[in-house]
Structure 1
């Protein structure tokens, strides 16, 4: 009996222990069920949140795609509107710029002599006037007044900033894939080279154009565009092409370029540059150095190198007269892989040789030959522009090396701007009159669009 009693007590203790254990396990099971329920609830909540996030992401992707389409369509619309505005302004425009008097000219100026130029106010928003007082042909003491009207007239006080503001739209046209030519024309010593190249303190149109292009390229990159730039510089001296960026005189250091695409040439004797116009509208110039441009400051170095090689000479009108046309050509290639788009533009900035009347410049010998080549070339340029404006069946591009080189960039939907630079002095009134008459002939032309009066 005692054994059974002991066994019963032991079993009761074990039963109590098991009951406590079962109670604890049931309690833990309840907690686990609660955790499970909470986890399932959280999972459902997170799943719903995940689905919501996925839906938001899909909406965001669709919104982004729609925004990109709108941005792309907006860019296309901007380009079309920009081009329409440029065409309404005229695919060929003429700006007149009057340089200020130099310090030496100011010292020697006679206060009793009236200025050679006057700038009457104009109510015409599309043109501006300038009046030139020049000695009469009959030798009388009286002055004859000659009135001209151009798209813009810049007085001697006009800054480089103000001048570039007017041509920046044409730089944008080149970025948009058009061919653009900007000329600086005028007598020797009238400020053409300053307009185009400027100085370190007052950069000219070429360095400012490069600055604008690189600033614009940042925005284009955000739109998926990659822009590549290639530059070349040559001069036309006595109707011969000369590479201004060649590191050597021999052709072994030169390159062949298709409006900027080059390949190394074998060394050998000096070769003449050959210009070939291709069916796709591009131009090939043999033996011409081309440079890939990755930053605007590169162009400053190229300009300095080119100016060291450019042909200059002393005349009675200017001690450092440019005796050649200098042509800076920048080819712009834009590619948007995502949209499958490509644009190709060309920007030509030309510092023309100074026009001059031989009897005034005192040219003789070599200077006489240079002056004749310069004047013949400038006359040919005017003839081409007039022929384009009159829609003549034959355009005399081959009459000069300059017009033949620039043939694809003149006429059609190309954009052309000519600066006529004049001096303010009465002693240069005869030369200024010739320059203004030439510019007026160009300004009267219409190429494809707005007629000028």
Structure 2
């Protein structure tokens, strides 16, 4: 049963040491893709596309999103974001730590893209990539690649040339794993982090890592543009519990407001409203191309199993269920992820390959490339197909991630 085009993966962190010997309020059943929350002595069952328990490691988590990440190299707009209360493990999932097994989705994704791009040179593809790293702090943009420089308050988000960017932000070339790792480390060191009663290193902002990909294939005279957006959201929090005061309280209010705006966007999409309030926050406006139906979107809902967090966990799970039911592109908008592949001799609207909305992960390796009818096109990954042939096989390749 395909319940929408937004995939949701649930991840439960290990029990915090401060919880002492308290029993977990969450029971995760990965084989059934379900999680059960016990709150106020009442069971609350939820089912998602994947569920990871406290023992799941970083590699296991990334392996499940690897194909979705790679589809950015095939010409899709891809967005992965983490959601949950402060201290639930969002930053650990997205960024991780160090250079080894604890690396998170961001560094592993860049490595994956670069490795696959190198392999595809053998099929005649040439790729160039640039990255930007933006922080949204108190509804203002900060450029983390410019040592956290605050951008002018009126800086606009630009949707042009198939990409989304913040005016005035730095875009740096990405051509090696080492260069990418250095870029990520530099950006993370400039991020605003403060201690609260709930989290010794609480992220006080949202961060968005954006990788812009351009590919060309001389033999078939085709080009593609893909984008990978990896978002580490600041955690929702209750002021009374976090002990936030002064600047911390102001930050918390800003965080909660922008997360509320994100909820409003998904509510509008879910109800197929003709108006979706993307412009109500910097975060949702920046992510509009992915959330608006032309991209592939996956959400991590991160959960803390300690009893004191059960109310926040219930709120996070309900929001995740709402998102999971959304079909991007609703409300009269044309649905389905669009593959940005064109002929270099001139764009043709018919050459924009579009997928039906699906919750399944996709590599995009079996979609049709543009070109004159009857010609053979070589897709990223080396798959050859007649241009103009049916692209129904794309939906079959799109089902690696099991939907429930």
TM-score, length of structure 2 as denominator length: 0.77
| Matching of residues 363-442 of structure 1 within 5 Å | 363-442=244-323
Residue 171 of structure 2 corresponds to: 290
| Matching of residues 5-404 of structure 1 within 5 Å | 90-102=4-16, 104-105=17-18, 109-110=20-21, 113-120=22-29, 128-134=33-39, 136=40, 143-200=41-98, 201=100, 202-247=102-147, 249=149, 272-278=154-160, 280-404=161-285
Structure 2 distance, partners of 1:435, 1:300, is: 31
- Unpaired segments ≥5 residues, structure 1: 1-86, 137-142, 252-269
Structure 2 distance, partners of 1:333, 1:287, is: 21
Structure 2 distance, partners of 1:213, 1:120, is: 31
8 Å CA contact retained: 1:179, 1:414: yes
Residue 255 of structure 1 corresponds to: none
Greater RCO, 1 or 2 (C-alpha within 8 Å, sep 6+): 2
Give the Å deviation of 1:338: 1.8
Answer with 176-185 or 435-444: which moved more: 435-444
8 Å CA contact retained: 2:66, 2:109: yes
**Aligned in 2, Cα 1:301/1:173: closer, same or farther, shift over 3 Å?**
same
8 Å CA contact retained: 1:91, 1:414: no
Aligned CA RMSD, in angstroms, stands at 2.2
Give the Å deviation of 1:88: 6.2
Deviations 1:254-279 (A, max 9, x none): xxxxxxxxxxxxxxxx675321223x
SS at match of 1:307: helix
Give the Å deviation of 1:237: 0.4
Give the Å deviation of 1:89: 8.4
**Aligned in 2, Cα 1:129/1:324: closer, same or farther, shift over 3 Å?**
same
Q: When the two structures are aligned, how many residues end up with a matched partner?
A: 332
Structure 2 distance, partners of 1:300, 1:211, is: 9
Whose strand fraction is larger, Structure 1's or Structure 2's? 2
Structure 2 distance, partners of 1:426, 1:217, is: 45
8 Å CA contact retained: 1:180, 1:346: yes
Residue 56 of structure 1 corresponds to: none
SS at match of 1:318: coil
Structure 1 distance, partners of 2:116, 2:234, is: 31
**Aligned in 2, Cα 1:212/1:144: closer, same or farther, shift over 3 Å?**
same
SS at match of 2:292: coil
**Aligned in 2, Cα 1:383/1:271: closer, same or farther, shift over 3 Å?**
closer
Give the Å deviation of 1:339: 1.0
Deviations 1:318-365 (A, max 9, x none): 121101000000001001122111010000000000111222112222
Deviations 1:37-84 (A, max 9, x none): xxxxxxxxxxxxxxxxxxxxxxxxxxxxxxxxxxxxxxxxxxxxxxxx
8 Å CA contact retained: 1:271, 1:287: no
Deviations 1:133-167 (A, max 9, x none): 12x3xxxxxx2221111111100111111101111
8 Å CA contact retained: 2:23, 2:306: no
**Aligned in 2, Cα 1:292/1:390: closer, same or farther, shift over 3 Å?**
same
Give the Å deviation of 1:122: 5.8
SS at match of 1:119: strand
Structure 1 distance, partners of 2:300, 2:52, is: 10
Structure 1 distance, partners of 2:85, 2:123, is: 44
8 Å CA contact retained: 2:140, 2:150: no
Whose radius of gyration is greater, 1 or 2?
A: 1
Structure 1 distance, partners of 2:96, 2:287, is: 24
Give the Å deviation of 1:226: 0.3
Give the Å deviation of 1:293: 0.5
TM-score, length of structure 1 as denominator length: 0.69
Whose helix fraction is larger, Structure 1's or Structure 2's? 1
Structure 2 distance, partners of 1:236, 1:192, is: 16
